[in-house]
Amino acid sequence: MKSLSAVVSAVLIALAGAGCTGSRNTNLTPRDLPAAPDSSYLFETTFDSSRRGVDPASVKAWVMIDLTLYPMQRVPNTENRFEALVPLPPGRNNIPYRYKFEFAFPGTPGRAVNSTWSQEYRLVLGGRQ
Protein backbone atom coordinates (compact mmCIF):
# COMPACT_ATOMS: atom_id res chain seq x y z
CA MET A 1 0.00 0.00 0.00
CA LYS A 2 1.36 3.39 -1.00
CA SER A 3 1.85 6.02 1.63
CA LEU A 4 -0.56 8.92 1.68
CA SER A 5 2.22 11.40 0.89
CA ALA A 6 3.22 9.44 -2.23
CA VAL A 7 -0.39 9.44 -3.46
CA VAL A 8 -0.78 13.17 -2.75
CA SER A 9 2.50 13.88 -4.58
CA ALA A 10 1.38 11.88 -7.62
CA VAL A 11 -1.96 13.72 -7.74
CA LEU A 12 -0.25 17.13 -7.47
CA ILE A 13 2.17 16.28 -10.26
CA ALA A 14 -0.69 15.12 -12.49
CA LEU A 15 -2.68 18.29 -11.80
CA ALA A 16 0.33 20.51 -12.49
CA GLY A 17 0.90 18.78 -15.82
CA ALA A 18 -2.75 18.99 -16.84
CA GLY A 19 -2.59 22.78 -17.19
CA CYS A 20 0.47 22.78 -19.43
CA THR A 21 -0.14 23.62 -23.08
CA GLY A 22 3.39 23.02 -24.35
CA SER A 23 3.58 26.64 -25.56
CA ARG A 24 5.75 29.52 -24.47
CA ASN A 25 6.60 33.03 -25.52
CA THR A 26 9.61 35.26 -25.03
CA ASN A 27 8.91 38.93 -24.46
CA LEU A 28 11.38 40.98 -26.51
CA THR A 29 9.97 44.38 -25.52
CA PRO A 30 12.33 46.30 -23.21
CA ARG A 31 11.05 46.92 -19.68
CA ASP A 32 11.92 50.64 -19.86
CA LEU A 33 11.67 52.96 -22.86
CA PRO A 34 12.15 56.69 -23.25
CA ALA A 35 9.04 58.70 -24.05
CA ALA A 36 8.23 58.71 -27.77
CA PRO A 37 7.06 62.01 -29.29
CA ASP A 38 4.16 60.28 -31.08
CA SER A 39 3.31 57.99 -28.08
CA SER A 40 3.71 54.87 -30.28
CA TYR A 41 5.78 51.96 -28.98
CA LEU A 42 7.02 48.74 -30.55
CA PHE A 43 6.00 45.50 -28.80
CA GLU A 44 7.86 42.32 -29.81
CA THR A 45 7.54 38.68 -28.83
CA THR A 46 8.23 35.15 -29.99
CA PHE A 47 5.99 32.10 -29.73
CA ASP A 48 7.02 28.45 -29.70
CA SER A 49 4.89 25.37 -29.20
CA SER A 50 6.09 21.87 -28.48
CA ARG A 51 2.55 20.59 -28.94
CA ARG A 52 2.59 17.97 -31.67
CA GLY A 53 1.01 19.03 -34.95
CA VAL A 54 0.81 22.79 -34.34
CA ASP A 55 0.95 24.53 -37.71
CA PRO A 56 3.48 27.38 -37.32
CA ALA A 57 1.93 29.24 -40.26
CA SER A 58 -1.41 29.35 -38.41
CA VAL A 59 -0.08 31.25 -35.38
CA LYS A 60 -1.63 34.68 -34.83
CA ALA A 61 -0.57 37.08 -32.09
CA TRP A 62 -2.00 40.13 -30.33
CA VAL A 63 -0.80 42.44 -27.57
CA MET A 64 -3.50 43.39 -25.05
CA ILE A 65 -3.36 46.79 -23.34
CA ASP A 66 -6.30 48.05 -21.26
CA LEU A 67 -8.59 45.26 -22.58
CA THR A 68 -7.85 46.26 -26.19
CA LEU A 69 -6.26 43.67 -28.48
CA TYR A 70 -3.79 45.05 -31.03
CA PRO A 71 -2.94 42.62 -33.86
CA MET A 72 0.73 41.79 -34.28
CA GLN A 73 2.48 41.18 -37.60
CA ARG A 74 5.05 38.51 -38.36
CA VAL A 75 8.60 39.85 -38.55
CA PRO A 76 9.93 39.08 -42.05
CA ASN A 77 12.80 36.60 -42.39
CA THR A 78 12.45 35.35 -38.80
CA GLU A 79 10.77 32.34 -37.27
CA ASN A 80 7.86 32.70 -34.82
CA ARG A 81 8.51 36.39 -34.12
CA PHE A 82 5.79 39.05 -33.99
CA GLU A 83 5.67 42.84 -33.56
CA ALA A 84 3.13 45.67 -33.31
CA LEU A 85 3.50 49.43 -33.16
CA VAL A 86 0.92 50.49 -30.58
CA PRO A 87 -0.26 54.03 -29.69
CA LEU A 88 -0.36 54.27 -25.91
CA PRO A 89 -2.60 56.60 -23.91
CA PRO A 90 -0.90 59.84 -22.91
CA GLY A 91 -0.21 60.60 -19.27
CA ARG A 92 0.73 57.10 -18.15
CA ASN A 93 4.19 55.77 -17.42
CA ASN A 94 3.46 52.21 -16.21
CA ILE A 95 1.64 50.12 -18.81
CA PRO A 96 0.61 46.49 -18.05
CA TYR A 97 0.24 44.25 -21.10
CA ARG A 98 -0.10 40.60 -22.15
CA TYR A 99 0.20 38.66 -25.38
CA LYS A 100 -2.48 36.41 -26.82
CA PHE A 101 -1.65 33.63 -29.26
CA GLU A 102 -4.01 31.59 -31.40
CA PHE A 103 -2.90 28.52 -33.34
CA ALA A 104 -4.30 25.52 -35.21
CA PHE A 105 -3.46 21.86 -34.66
CA PRO A 106 -4.95 18.59 -35.89
CA GLY A 107 -8.13 17.82 -33.99
CA THR A 108 -10.95 15.36 -34.18
CA PRO A 109 -12.47 15.87 -36.70
CA GLY A 110 -10.32 18.15 -38.88
CA ARG A 111 -8.32 21.01 -37.38
CA ALA A 112 -8.94 22.60 -34.01
CA VAL A 113 -8.00 26.11 -32.88
CA ASN A 114 -6.54 26.83 -29.47
CA SER A 115 -5.35 30.00 -27.79
CA THR A 116 -3.10 30.86 -24.89
CA TRP A 117 -2.07 33.98 -22.97
CA SER A 118 1.33 35.09 -21.78
CA GLN A 119 2.02 36.25 -18.27
CA GLU A 120 1.50 39.94 -17.56
CA TYR A 121 4.40 42.29 -18.33
CA ARG A 122 4.89 45.99 -17.54
CA LEU A 123 6.35 48.73 -19.72
CA VAL A 124 7.77 51.72 -17.87
CA LEU A 125 7.94 54.87 -19.97
CA GLY A 126 10.49 57.47 -18.93
CA GLY A 127 9.62 61.13 -19.04
CA ARG A 128 5.86 60.56 -19.21
CA GLN A 129 3.69 62.24 -16.63
Tens of pLDDT, residues 12-43: 333 333 334 577 899 999 999 998 889 999 99
* Residues whose CB falls within 8 Å of the CB of residue 29, separated by 6 or more in sequence, listed in order: 41, 42, 43, 44, 45, 121, 123
Side-chain-side CA neighbours of residue 69 (13 Å): 10
CATH of 22-126, one of 3.40.50.300, 2.60.40.10, 2.40.100.20, 2.40.10.120: 2.60.40.10
What stretches of the chain adopt beta strand conformation (E)?
23-27, 32-34, 40-49, 60-65, 68-71, 73-74, 81-87, 94-106, 111-117, 121-126
pLDDT given at position 3:
56
63-93 pLDDT, tens digit per residue, is: 999 999 999 999 999 889 999 999 998 888 8
Which residues are paired to 73 by β-bridges? 83
Q: Structure pTM? A: 0.77
Give the helix/strand (H/E) hosting 66: none
Q: Is the pLDDT of residue 10 over 60?
A: no
The residues facing 43 across adjacent strands are 84
